[in-house]
Chains A and B, each alone.
Chain A
């Protein structure tokens, strides 16, 4: 199960809506059904908010979810 490591935000000038700070590509560990994957996602280092872009949610993430459900 391979997951591309880094995902950028979908088009836009994205900032943290809470502190106004810039987003930084940060490593997070996403989990589903007991499997853990390290991915790099846009996040606000100050507030800890992580963004899952639509292109990722409906693309690779949906694909991997389906694979894990049938594993």
Chain B
């Protein structure tokens, strides 16, 4: 990612766009922060917020005509925030802060003709920037039309106090000046920049004085008629009245132009954010209750402190965060996509040091929900995948991040597990059943039943392909592995006569559709619902009427036809379907997607727990991994195929049978290949796992620990086999147990076991990746099938 790509990514996240109120304010007062302080009763802090942006805050805070209120998102939910009244409350009740900081003198002078709000704003802004400013006016005291406001609205001492602040900032005031054309001409020759306020030098026949009569007479961006000035401002509205905000905005814009002119900068470049401007911020208010405006008990005195806090607390604190609201992963890292893009960019830029964002980059589930809810369709999946590929290309991918999954993928595609067969008795097939490696591992018997049903009912012959779609490679940033896996798939597909693929796994289907659009593919659910119908024996059981919540796999997000087919099948099975809050196009990931489960198991548990926790009931799922993850998170999720093909499943039914673990899934895949070959194609093959070393006894408790540590029974058996052959092991004389190690791929596995009468009982196992001389003996050819792991 280069700088411009980063900026493109950042620009698509709108979280830092200003709220509507701030955008509508010509001075961009941070109304949201102001309201937050006011709601907390922190009036002094709120005044500081005003003072950050407002000129003459004591004056403007009292008379602001609050154009922000018309833009307030609360408008239709009880009425806009009373921003103007709260500003007034704030400046009346909080001490003024210290004199604004003034930059060191720049050695340039500006003349201001007129002393109304626009002129005083020019003086305020330029003095802060270090310019020498002299304010010239005809009257005895500065203020212009401000002096005509009712005392109750603007007490004269408040105006005097702000004028005194200006004087302390170095602004000179010259009263009683006859502001003639000659005066202007000499000011222009004596000073580096000149501002002329509407009405300065007014005559009975010319109320505007030296200023053009209308804003339309000047350049709307620079407020000048010609470069380099003079600059103008402070026009009244069409009704002849002066808008305080409009005058202050004129003053700010003119001062900005004068600053640019005096420092030799462009008068027009990058000024689109000055003044009231549009914002891209989107605030979804669904479900926000209406709260009416707070009405002061005594309208004459205005808000009491409690009333002011109550009114301010109606502020919605507008922000987007649509994606963060629906994603535990985005929430975890306490930022939002714009900041994450920057973090990823910085992470890639680190040459020496700690790459703090590695885990974050690697643990996004790539589920795409953020893109669906984002008003700008920001895709964290694309951002993370780009970063992962970049890490792989630069050799910066942490070796352990995805290794287990990639090894698992290689195993699925290995000779022992993979299979590609035509329709029995034929050379090709019209349909190719592709259960996917996870369903094959989790429910091999069901795969066999589905295949039989498809063969019985689908015309054109049905072949079968066991193996992986390659998506773990893509998720891991290993496009090479993905391409190789896809090439194997394509070769099989060509050889089998270019059949239509019937995919049981939503991820396999999505992967095929995206990577091989010329290969016709359809979900098993659409085939079952629309072509074959349910088999005899499907559990359309009135006796056990079920109500289940449907969980759409995240990979089916953009496949409404398959989602509808799943619901149709559930309906035909007699299941009453409930929809979780996030469903269909907005479904959530179970925690497996994108290999989140590999890169950050705790995050995956959180995600699965959240999905399980938001379920209105037990889930019906159509993905083997969803079932696995949700079941382990405490939801008695049932796979749709277990309802359609209940088989000889042990009572009390599929909901309570634990999903197959990692070791079992590996075994199941190999067994499925053998069983299909034998049962359907009449070919008997020797079981390969018999070569995996001695049979060991592992209790369910120990096995569960091993699975948490991503240690497989084949790893354990290889260690024991090696120890038994070489005698290389340690003995604990207190217990009679052995501790032995073997290096498999990039990992050294240790096993604590005992041997009794030729039987081996495993008590514990752990592993490490560091290479330790004397403890990292390489694999033994006789006992090891694992081979080299993928880095």
Taking the closest CB of chain A, its distance from the CB of B538, in whole angstroms, is: 47
Q: Which of A14, A30, A48, A66 contacts B731 (CB 8 A)?
A: A14
Using a CB-CB cutoff of 8 Å, which residues 3-60 of chain A contact chain B? 9, 12-18, 20, 23, 28-33, 41, 43-44, 47-52, 54, 57-58
Taking the closest CB of chain B, its distance from the CB of A55, in whole angstroms, is: 9
A36 to B731 CA separation, bound complex (whole angstroms): 28
- Decide: B774 and A61 in contact? CB cutoff 8 A: no
Answer yes or no: B748 CB below 8 A from chain A CBs.
yes
Interface size class of B (residues with CB under 8 A): 35 or more
- Decide: B766 and A13 in contact? CB cutoff 8 A: no
**In the complex, which residues of chain B have a beta carbon less than 8 angstroms from the beta carbon of A54?**
750, 752, 764, 766
By beta carbon, the residue of chain B nearest A37 is: B770
- Decide: B766 and A69 in contact? CB cutoff 8 A: no
A69 to B359 CA separation, bound complex (whole angstroms): 10
- Decide: B731 and A15 in contact? CB cutoff 8 A: yes
Using a CB-CB cutoff of 8 Å, which residues 771-789 of chain B contact chain A? 771-775
- Decide: B764 and A30 in contact? CB cutoff 8 A: no
Given contacts A15-B731, A23-B730, contact A52 B750 (CB under 8 A): yes
- Decide: B775 and A50 in contact? CB cutoff 8 A: yes
- Decide: A17 and B738 in contact? CB cutoff 8 A: yes
**In the complex, which residues of chain B have a beta carbon less than 8 angstroms from the beta carbon of A43?**
774
Answer yes or no: B727 CB below 8 A from chain A CBs.
yes
Stretch at the interface among B82-90, B349-357, B431-439: B349-357
Q: Which of A9, A16, A47, A52 contacts B748 (CB 8 A)?
A: A52
By beta carbon, the residue of chain A nearest B752 is: A54
- Decide: B733 and A49 in contact? CB cutoff 8 A: no
Taking the closest CB of chain B, its distance from the CB of A14, in whole angstroms, is: 5
Answer yes or no: B399 CB below 8 A from chain A CBs.
yes
- Decide: B354 and A70 in contact? CB cutoff 8 A: yes
Q: Which of B728, B769, B771, B772 contacts A41 (CB 8 A)?
A: B772
Q: Which of B358, B734, B741 contacts A52 (CB 8 A)?
A: B741
**In the complex, which residues of chain A have a beta carbon less than 8 angstroms from the beta carbon of B358?**
69-70
Which of B352, B730, B735 has the largest number of chain A CB atoms within 10 A?
Answer: B730
Given contacts A15-B733, A69-B399, contact A49 B774 (CB under 8 A): yes
Q: Which of A28, A32, A51, A66 contacts B730 (CB 8 A)?
A: A51
**In the complex, which residues of chain B have a beta carbon less than 8 angstroms from the beta carbon of A67?**
354
Taking the closest CB of chain B, its distance from the CB of A48, in whole angstroms, is: 5
- Decide: A17 and B774 in contact? CB cutoff 8 A: no
- Decide: B731 and A28 in contact? CB cutoff 8 A: no
- Decide: A52 and B768 in contact? CB cutoff 8 A: yes
- Decide: B398 and A57 in contact? CB cutoff 8 A: no
- Decide: A69 and B398 in contact? CB cutoff 8 A: yes
Answer yes or no: B400 CB below 8 A from chain A CBs.
yes
Taking the closest CB of chain A, its distance from the CB of B75, in whole angstroms, is: 48
Q: Which of B729, B733, B771 contacts A18 (CB 8 A)?
A: B729
By beta carbon, the residue of chain B nearest A31 is: B771
**In the complex, which residues of chain A have a beta carbon less than 8 angstroms from the beta carbon of B766?**
54, 57-58
Using a CB-CB cutoff of 8 Å, which residues 719-735 of chain B contact chain A? 723, 726-735
Q: Which of B728, B735, B770 contacts A12 (CB 8 A)?
A: B735
- Decide: B773 and A29 in contact? CB cutoff 8 A: yes
Using a CB-CB cutoff of 8 Å, which residues 734-750 of chain B contact chain A? 734-735, 737-741, 748, 750
Answer yes or no: B695 CB below 8 A from chain A CBs.
no
- Decide: A61 and B730 in contact? CB cutoff 8 A: no
Q: Which of B399, B723, B730 contacts A15 (CB 8 A)?
A: B730
**In the complex, which residues of chain B have a beta carbon less than 8 angstroms from the beta carbon of A31?**
770-771
Which of B726, B752, B767, B772 has the largest number of chain A CB atoms within 10 A?
Answer: B772
- Decide: A14 and B354 in contact? CB cutoff 8 A: no
Given contacts A17-B738, A49-B775, A70-B355, contact A62 B768 (CB under 8 A): yes
A47 to B758 CA separation, bound complex (whole angstroms): 24
By beta carbon, the residue of chain A nearest B737 is: A12
A30 to B728 CA separation, bound complex (whole angstroms): 19
Taking the closest CB of chain B, its distance from the CB of A16, in whole angstroms, is: 6
- Decide: A13 and B774 in contact? CB cutoff 8 A: no
Taking the closest CB of chain B, its distance from the CB of A62, in whole angstroms, is: 7
**In the complex, which residues of chain A have a beta carbon less than 8 angstroms from the beta carbon of B738?**
17
A66 to B354 CA separation, bound complex (whole angstroms): 10
A61 to B358 CA separation, bound complex (whole angstroms): 19
Given contacts A69-B399, A69-B400, A70-B355, contact A14 B732 (CB under 8 A): yes
Q: Which of B740, B748, B774 contacts A28 (CB 8 A)?
A: B774
A58 to B770 CA separation, bound complex (whole angstroms): 12
- Decide: A61 and B768 in contact? CB cutoff 8 A: yes
Q: Which of B729, B768, B772 contacts A50 (CB 8 A)?
A: B772
A57 to B749 CA separation, bound complex (whole angstroms): 10
Taking the closest CB of chain B, its distance from the CB of A9, in whole angstroms, is: 8
**In the complex, which residues of chain B have a beta carbon less than 8 angstroms from the beta carbon of A48?**
774
Given contacts A13-B734, A69-B399, contact A32 B356 (CB under 8 A): no
Taking the closest CB of chain B, its distance from the CB of A15, in whole angstroms, is: 5
**In the complex, which residues of chain A have a beta carbon less than 8 angstroms from the beta carbon of B737?**
12
- Decide: B771 and A30 in contact? CB cutoff 8 A: yes
Given contacts A12-B734, A57-B768, contact A17 B773 (CB under 8 A): no
- 23 pairs of residues in contact across A and B, judged by CB atoms under 8 Å: A12-B734, A14-B730, A15-B731, A15-B733, A17-B727, A17-B740, A18-B726, A18-B728, A30-B771, A30-B773, A32-B769, A41-B772, A44-B730, A50-B772, A50-B775, A52-B775, A54-B766, A58-B766, A61-B768, A69-B401, A70-B355, A70-B356, A71-B353
Query: 15 extra interchain contacts, Cβ-Cβ under 8 A, other than A48-B774, A52-B748?
Result: A14-B730, A15-B733, A18-B726, A18-B727, A30-B770, A30-B772, A30-B773, A31-B770, A49-B774, A57-B766, A64-B770, A65-B400, A67-B354, A71-B353, A71-B355
Those 3 A-B pairs whose CB atoms lie nearest each other, nearest first: A50-B774, A69-B398, A12-B732
